[in-house]
Structures are given as structure tokens and as C-alpha cells.
């Protein structure tokens, strides 16, 4: 019985087990630490907003578009950092006359945070430059509603409102002469009423004549201006329909004579 017990104590197979466990642990543990260490630096570098803000501060538009784009596309970027990156990139696009891309960035910003009055105003200015007045006035109005003390948005809203009023007034009289076409009897008057371009010219002549008479320095000068207009209408009525008479040319020359060579 003692001999069998001694044989079990020194059996080589039992002595290999602890050695194999040590080898396995020594291989597995370092590789796990390496994987954990390798994932962390990338996260910090990719989400760093510093390069984007630095490029914007340096007014380097190309660099701003490049590095801020990387931050914007990084899913791990913080929401406030993404908003800042989109805003400064939109400004860079604007300065490079890439208006559609700037508007697209402002669109994304306002989806993330619709309460930013500055961004509404900036996008409104871009819409106005593109000629889209309805979208511009909506953005200016939204900015003023969000911040009633926003000076730039208030000024933009007021000026665009006046511009839209003037456009509306012009559209209301477009193609209409200075006289009532329902009372037109002369052939020249009927011709003017039938042609929107001639009707616009006649209205401009009438308005310019009224302005120059009102701004005349003395009554004598005002009378001379009225007599000159009466003479033009008399010649127009008498010569219309005769060979070689160009009504539109005569009206353009009369308008230029009233307003001067520079249009004043």
C-alpha cells in the first residue's frame, strides 16, 4: 500500500496540470488588457472638438470644412459639439459662396435645436440672397419670436416686409397705364392698354412727371414741366399710326428726358 501511494505522488501527468494552467493564463490575460487599452484613445481623438474650433478661430475655411466635417460625422461626438461644428461649417460654406450647403447645415442645426434665433436669422439671410423671400421672412419672423431683442433679425424682418409690400404694390399695377383703360377712346390709348410693356412705360412717365413737378424749385419751373408733358402727349396722339413713328421708342426717350441720363 505504501508503494502505490508513492507512485501517485510522483506521477508526471499530475505535475503537468498546474503548468498548463499557468501557460494559458499568461497568454490570455495580456491580450485582454491590450484590447481594452487599444479602444480608448481612438474615442477621445475622434470626438475632440478642439481642431474644429481652432480652424474656425483661425478663419481657415477649407480647414474648417475638413476637420469640422470629421467631427460632425463622428457618431460619438457630443450634441453641443455637433451643433457648434455645423454652425461654423455653415459659415465657412457661406463665405465660399456655397449657399445650398450652408443652408443644409443650418437645417440640421435647427433639427437638433430649433430654439436658436441666430441660426434662424443666418439661414433667412441666405434664403434672401437666393431670392426665396417667403422662406426668408419666415426665418426672420421665427428669430424675432424666439428673441424679441435680436437686432439683426428685427432689421431684416422690417426691411424684407417693406420690400414685399413694394413688390405687391408693383404687381397690383403691373401692365396698367396712368389712365383708365375703360375710358380710352384714342387709337394710341387703346394700343397702350393692349400692350403691358407700353402700359408700364406710360405709368412710369406719369409717375416721373408728377415727381419732378412736385420737386420743382419754383412755380415757373413746375409749369414748364407740365407744359413739356402736355406737348409730348399731343405729339404722341398726332403722330401715332404714321409711317416711321415708333411709339415705344418715343415713350422711352420721354422717360429718359424726365429722369435724366442717370435715371433721376
- Contact criterion met (CB below 8 Å) for 122 and 90: yes
Query: Residue 263: CB partners within 8 Å, gap ≥ 6?
Result: 256
CA distances (Å), origin 78, targets 49, 70, 116? 9, 13, 17
What is the residue whose three cell numbers read 407740365? 226
- Contact criterion met (CB below 8 Å) for 130 and 123: no
pLDDT of amino acid 95 = 95
pLDDT of amino acid 49 = 87
pLDDT of amino acid 47 = 66
* pLDDT per residue as tens digits for the range 117-151: 999 999 999 999 999 999 999 999 999 999 999 99
17 vs 121 pLDDT, higher one: 121
Query: How do the domains of the chain map onto residue ranges?
Result: 49-173, 181-261
For residue 240, report the phi and psi dihedrals to the nearest 5 degrees. Answer: -60, 130
pLDDT of amino acid 100 = 96
* pLDDT per residue as tens digits for the range 195-211: 999 999 999 999 899 98
pLDDT above 70 coverage of the chain, percent? 80
Asked if pLDDT for residue 33 goes beyond 90, the answer is no
pLDDT of amino acid 163 = 87
Asked if pLDDT for residue 228 goes beyond 70, the answer is yes
pLDDT of amino acid 87 = 96
Asked if pLDDT for residue 241 goes beyond 70, the answer is yes
Cα atoms in the 13 Å half-sphere on the side-chain side of 51 = 15
pLDDT of amino acid 2 = 43
**What average pLDDT does range 17-23 have in this prediction?**
38
**What average pLDDT does range 166-174 have in this prediction?**
76
CB-based burial label for 126 (10 Å; 0-12, 13-18, 19+)? buried
Q: Distance between CA 201 and CA 256 in Å, rounded?
A: 11
Domain 49-173 listed as CATH 2.170.120.12: no
* pLDDT per residue as tens digits for the range 61-97: 999 999 999 999 998 899 999 999 999 999 999 999 9
CA angle 230, 233, 235 (to 5 degrees): 110
14-28, 37-51, 166-180: which has the minimum mean pLDDT? 14-28
Amino acid at each position: 500500500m505504501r508503494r502505490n501511494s508513492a507512485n501517485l505522488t510522483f506521477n508526471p501527468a499530475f505535475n503537468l496540470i498546474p503548468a498548463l494552467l499557468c501557460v494559458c493564463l499568461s497568454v490570455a490575460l495580456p491580450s485582454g488588457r491590450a484590447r481594452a487599452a487599444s479602444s480608448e484613445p481612438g474615442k477621445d481623438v475622434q470626438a475632440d472638438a478642439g481642431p474644429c474650433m481652432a480652424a474656425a478661430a483661425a478663419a481657415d475655411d477649407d480647414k474648417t470644412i475638413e476637420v469640422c466635417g470629421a467631427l460632425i460625422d463622428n457618431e460619438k461626438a457630443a450634441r453641443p459639439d455637433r451643433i457648434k461644428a455645423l454652425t461654423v461649417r455653415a459659415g465657412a460654406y457661406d463665405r465660399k459662396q456655397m449657399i445650398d450647403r450652408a443652408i443644409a447645415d443650418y437645417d440640421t442645426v435647427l433639427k437638433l435645436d430649433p430654439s436658436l434665433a441666430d441660426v434662424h436669422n443666418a439661414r433667412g439671410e441666405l434664403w434672401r440672397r437666393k431670392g426665396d423671400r417667403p422662406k426668408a421672412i419666415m426665418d426672420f419672423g421665427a428669430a424675432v419670436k424666439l428673441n424679441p431683442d435680436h437686432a439683426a433679425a428685427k432689421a431684416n424682418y422690417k426691411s424684407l416686409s417693406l420690400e414685399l409690400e413694394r413688390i405687391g404694390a408693383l404687381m397690383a399695377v403691373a401692365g396698367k397705364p396712368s389712365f383708365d383703360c375703360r375710358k380710352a377712346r384714342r387709337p394710341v390709348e387703346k394700343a397702350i392698354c393692349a400692350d403691358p410693356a407700353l402700359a408700364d412705360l406710360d405709368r412710369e412717365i406719369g409717375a416721373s412727371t408728377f415727381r419732378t413737378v412736385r420737386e420743382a424749385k419754383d412755380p415757373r419751373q413746375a409749369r414748364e414741366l407740365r407744359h413739356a408733358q402736355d406737348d409730348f402727349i399731343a405729339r404722341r396722339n398726332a403722330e401715332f399710326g404714321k409711317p416711321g413713328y415708333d411709339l415705344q421708342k418715343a415713350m422711352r426717350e420721354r422717360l429718359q428726358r424726365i429722369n435724366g441720363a442717370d435715371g433721376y
